[in-house]
Chains A and B, each alone.
Chain A
């Protein structure tokens, strides 16, 4: 068995095992960490496919940025697992039935019979000086330009939606500092000298 195949099997096994742990782990923080591992092994599989750029982007963006943010959120909101697991036993038979039927169908169809590697010829491997990033950039800005622009608009809309749904104008009662006014303040604003005549204290 060539080295490539052995590496593929090892990484695939790790990936499936950690993906399973994502949904079975009791502690949400563990789930997120297993998801990181899943992404990491997926990146390794990309490298095996000679798609270095995508592999690195997966590590940088998903593992480095998205999952860290995810970890923050999970740690901050303190997910209570108990209510989420309520009704688990009650819905288990139905869920298991649907799951088994789906898996059986998928195994029958998305198996080697229709999608086996013998049905598709292997793509030629690229020469050593082949730039993955450049090829991807060329495709994105030529053939997939239209889709690329649409994706940009989807991102814009998600920003608008997120801001619309979360930003609230501060109510008038909120007190906040204005540095400009603070700097411009002089003695008269802060201190008032009050002159009073002395008074005789009444004897009880």
Chain B
């Protein structure tokens, strides 16, 4: 009986941890908020251990096919837990300096992570949808977390309305698929479509609605309108949270729904994803050039990275899936680092979100300028950093399925995109500093940023460390 629920250990640990954080925070006076923070980190570490220890090897399906523990879920869970850990470490000094250092941030962050774990392990449409809603609710609340900021409230409102709309779309698509196949379970849907042929226009309509809903959550063009506004309007710590780990979970949804559930319709969703990917690559990279606000620039850069991730998925081969998985994990790490740099340069009364704020960073701190250099080069895809290998492996997968033109578009717009990443590097190294104030203090922030920056170099030099996991994760 107990061993039957063993694969569920990470979710159970995290749920208990989040509730403990929530309750303990009520009894902790405001000046000792660090207790809550440390408890939240402890909950993350416990969940990490539970994922390593509790998740058995091989594939286990629980609850009549609505929960799956497989190599992919294990890898992606580890990724989102570690990312959330970094997010919390980065967020602490930012929140503390702005009167936002509340226990609710950590509680909502942990519950959001629970939603991500559920999404990653969801094997029926109902579970997947509930996990997505759990995550989304936490995100809406976190965006509006700074109640005195009209910009944050506006961003939260936009995010909420568009997000509810996208959830409706997704749910409608799911209901159509359910109506056709008579089952909510991914594996049953797959079997039904194999048995009954693929020329079902009803399944196609369901597929369209599902792709619309998922693309919104991932932020692919033309469902990207919320991304820049939310990144800019939300507190930087929250933008950091939204931009990193949830993308990994959204990728898991694409894999479960499209690759596993509706794999029979591959020819159809390949075309749709190709359109989304090309639009994302073009719009993301071109519009990012015009941005002077770093957060907005990162938002458009997210959109262009999403294009790359979609390219990997649409290749539809094991190589493509593993490349996309490597890319999404790399992307979440590098984005967390970029937002961490914004937090490092900010202080009370100054949000270092303008490109100007990075002017002459090298003169102020050579070490952190170097870290930002690593991050920007990674995003641009300069060898030997991780981004180069991530882009290369996606392109290789796309070329192998003879979609040469997609690869060409991706390369051309990566070159266009390199301009705005290198502009940041130029500002840091070749311009005089205009801002000379002190950095945000916090040893944890600095240590985590250094680890994050160096990991980009390490992952670029030894990509096999992560890539072999990704390959093993999709070998079903």
**Residues of A bordering B, CB below 8 Å:** 105-106, 108-110, 114-115, 120, 143-147, 150-151, 153-154, 156-158, 160-161, 164-165, 168
Number of A-B contacts (CB under 8 A): 74
* Segment at the A interface, from B106-114, B229-237, B446-454: B106-114
CB distance from A143 to the nearest CB of B (A): 5
Enumerate 18 A-B pairs (CB-CB under 8 Å) in ascending A order: A105-B205, A109-B201, A109-B202, A114-B201, A115-B179, A144-B63, A146-B127, A147-B126, A147-B130, A150-B131, A153-B111, A157-B111, A160-B22, A160-B107, A160-B111, A164-B145, A165-B144, A168-B147
**Segment 171-221 of B: residues with Cβ below 8 Å from A:** 176, 179-180, 182, 200-202, 205
Name the prevailing secondary structure of the A interface residues: helix
The answer, yes or no, to whether B90 is at the interface (CB within 8 Å) is no
| Contact assessment for A146 and B145 in the assembled complex, using a CB-CB cutoff below 8 Å | no
| Contact assessment for B127 and A110 in the assembled complex, using a CB-CB cutoff below 8 Å | no
**Residues of B contacting A153 in the complex (Cβ-Cβ under 8 angstroms):** 15, 111, 114, 134
**Residues of A contacting B107 in the complex (Cβ-Cβ under 8 angstroms):** 160
Known pairs A109-B202, A110-B176, A114-B202; A147 contacts B141 (CB<8 A): no
Of the residues B127, B138, B140, B145, contact of A150 by C-beta under 8 Å: B127
CB distance from A176 to the nearest CB of B (A): 21
**Residues of B contacting A110 in the complex (Cβ-Cβ under 8 angstroms):** 176, 202, 205
**Residues of A contacting B144 in the complex (Cβ-Cβ under 8 angstroms):** 165
Known pairs A154-B133, A158-B137; A143 contacts B63 (CB<8 A): yes
The answer, yes or no, to whether B437 is at the interface (CB within 8 Å) is no
CA distance A109 to B126 in the complex (A): 23
Of the residues B104, B114, B147, B201, contact of A160 by C-beta under 8 Å: B104
The answer, yes or no, to whether B118 is at the interface (CB within 8 Å) is yes
CA distance A106 to B107 in the complex (A): 42
Known pairs A110-B202, A160-B104; A147 contacts B66 (CB<8 A): yes
CB distance from A138 to the nearest CB of B (A): 13
CA distance A146 to B134 in the complex (A): 14
Known pairs A150-B118, A150-B127; A109 contacts B133 (CB<8 A): no
**Segment 317-342 of B: residues with Cβ below 8 Å from A:** none
Known pairs A109-B201, A115-B202, A164-B104; A154 contacts B134 (CB<8 A): yes
**Segment 124-157 of B: residues with Cβ below 8 Å from A:** 126-127, 130-131, 133-134, 137-138, 140-141, 144-145, 147
**Residues of B contacting A106 in the complex (Cβ-Cβ under 8 angstroms):** 205
**Residues of B bordering A, CB below 8 Å:** 15, 22, 62-64, 66-67, 102, 104, 107-108, 111, 114, 118, 126-127, 130-131, 133-134, 137-138, 140-141, 144-145, 147, 176, 179-180, 182, 200-202, 205
Sorted nearest first, the 3 A-B pairs with minimum C-beta distance are: A161-B141, A114-B202, A150-B130
**Residues of B contacting A105 in the complex (Cβ-Cβ under 8 angstroms):** 205
CA distance A151 to B67 in the complex (A): 15
Apart from A109-B205, A151-B130, list 15 A-B contacts with CB within 8 A: A114-B180, A120-B182, A144-B63, A146-B127, A147-B66, A150-B127, A153-B134, A157-B134, A160-B22, A160-B107, A161-B140, A161-B141, A164-B108, A165-B141, A165-B144
| Contact assessment for A150 and B134 in the assembled complex, using a CB-CB cutoff below 8 Å | yes
CA distance A108 to B205 in the complex (A): 11
CB distance from A55 to the nearest CB of B (A): 20
CB distance from A168 to the nearest CB of B (A): 8
Of the residues A108, A147, A157, A165, contact of B127 by C-beta under 8 Å: A147
CB distance from B233 to the nearest CB of A (A): 15
Instruction: Name which of A144, A151, A158, A164 has the most chain B CB atoms within 10 A of its CB.
Output: A164
**Residues of A contacting B134 in the complex (Cβ-Cβ under 8 angstroms):** 150, 153-154, 157
CB distance from B374 to the nearest CB of A (A): 36
| Contact assessment for A165 and B147 in the assembled complex, using a CB-CB cutoff below 8 Å | yes
**Residues of A contacting B67 in the complex (Cβ-Cβ under 8 angstroms):** 146
Known pairs A105-B205, A109-B201, A153-B15; A164 contacts B141 (CB<8 A): yes
**Residues of A contacting B141 in the complex (Cβ-Cβ under 8 angstroms):** 157, 160-161, 164-165
CB distance from A25 to the nearest CB of B (A): 22
Closest B residue, CB atoms, query A114 = B202
CA distance A4 to B141 in the complex (A): 46
Closest A residue, CB atoms, query B127 = A147
**Residues of A contacting B140 in the complex (Cβ-Cβ under 8 angstroms):** 161
| Contact assessment for A161 and B137 in the assembled complex, using a CB-CB cutoff below 8 Å | yes
| Contact assessment for A146 and B205 in the assembled complex, using a CB-CB cutoff below 8 Å | no
Of the residues B108, B201, B205, contact of A157 by C-beta under 8 Å: B108
| Contact assessment for A164 and B111 in the assembled complex, using a CB-CB cutoff below 8 Å | no
Instruction: Name which of A146, A147, A160, A165 has the most chain B CB atoms within 10 A of its CB.
Output: A146
CA distance A157 to B133 in the complex (A): 10
